[in-house]
């Protein structure tokens, strides 16, 4: 245990031999015969990630690149502690802000304010609730009238504004962004990018999944390239981004 602590001293995130697999459901009308004869197991394990290892120092930012379905979102969830690794370990030495993904956790039937209160309570608050709600209103630029409407009436851009603002409400060491910057109007996109750079300059770590290698190059210090659930290369951000560009 002592040694383990020493090793973690300056590392913020340590992922070692992480493996994750999902149950793949084969059940369906076509397989009733299979079910009855018990020839085929109705559930098979489908590996999503295998043997993923990397580490990240404090203040470094990481870009994650890869094709659709290569396991990027799953890796993010494993880092955030939402999924337990089946093999290997994930150690995080700091607090993580909720994952920024499109519409993350928003309940469409509830109003904006109800969503804010629900998610703040679920994420755990570090500050005063009223103050946080005020911050969210200001940052999202959504009027009180809009926030009193059910979220199902919102446009994709408004949902993104709300989700982004709620995720940023807490002070956390690590910010995880899962390709969300594409929605929202130009003004809000720029505001978000500006906010992300501001957080980075404050020494926060940013884990950034994107399909735009140019943005990754600007923001990140390190990058890794995922393919079929394994890291095929990691290290210098420019090398990885060039490799990603050559994939297509």
Residues that bind other proteins (CB under 8 A): 22-25, 27, 43, 77, 80-84, 86, 96, 98-99, 101, 103-107, 109-110, 114, 117-119, 121-124
Q: Which is nearer to other proteins, 166 or 223 (CB)?
A: 166
Q: Which is nearer to other proteins, 110 or 232 (CB)?
A: 110
Which distant-in-sequence residues (6+ apart) come within 8 Å of 124 by Cβ? 170
Q: DSSP letter string over 191-238?
A: HHHHHHHHHHHTT-EEEEE-S-HHHHHHH-SEEEEEETTEEEEEEEHH
Sorted by sequence, the CB contacts under 8 Å of residue 231 that are 6+ apart come out as 52, 53, 54, 224, 225
Q: Shortest Cβ distance from residue 207 to other proteins (Å)?
A: 15
Angstrom distance (rounded) from CA 150 to CA 112: 6
Q: Which is nearer to other proteins, 11 or 77 (CB)?
A: 77
Nearest CB to other proteins, comparing residues 43 and 197: 43
* In the complex, minimum distance from the CB of residue 187 to other proteins, in angstroms, rounded to a whole number: 25
Q: At its nearest, how many Å lie between other proteins and the CB of residue 17?
A: 18
As measured in angstroms, the least distance from the Cβ of 181 to other proteins is 17
């Amino acid at each position: 245990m002592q040694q383990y602590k020493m090793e973690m001293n300056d590392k913020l995130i340590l992922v070692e031999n992480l493996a994750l697999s999902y149950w793949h459901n084969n059940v369906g009308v076509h397989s009733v015969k299979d079910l009855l004869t018990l020839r085929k197991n109705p559930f098979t394990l489908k590996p999503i990630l295998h043997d993923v290892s990397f580490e990240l120092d404090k203040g470094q930012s990481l870009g994650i690149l890869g094709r659709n379905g290569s396991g990027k979102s799953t890796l993010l969830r494993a880092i955030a502690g939402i999924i337990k690794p089946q093999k290997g370990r994930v150690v995080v030495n700091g607090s993580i802000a909720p994952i920024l993904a499109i519409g993350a956790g928003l309940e469409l039937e509830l109003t904006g304010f109800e969503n804010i209160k629900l998610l703040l309570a679920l994420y755990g608050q570090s500050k005063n609730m009223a103050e946080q709600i005020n911050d969210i209103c200001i940052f999202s630029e959504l009027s009180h009238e809009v926030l009193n409407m059910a979220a199902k009436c919102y446009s994709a851009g408004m949902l993104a504004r709300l989700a982004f603002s709620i995720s940023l409400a807490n002070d956390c060491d690590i910010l995880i962004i899962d390709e969300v910057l594409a929605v929202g109007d130009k003004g809000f996109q720029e505001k978000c990018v500006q906010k992300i750079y501001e957080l980075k300059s404050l020494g926060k770590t940013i884990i950034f999944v994107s399909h735009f290698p140019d943005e990754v190059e600007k923001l990140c210090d390190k990058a890794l390239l995922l393919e079929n659930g394994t890291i095929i290369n990691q290290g210098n951000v420019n090398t990885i981004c060039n490799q990603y560009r050559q994939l297509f």
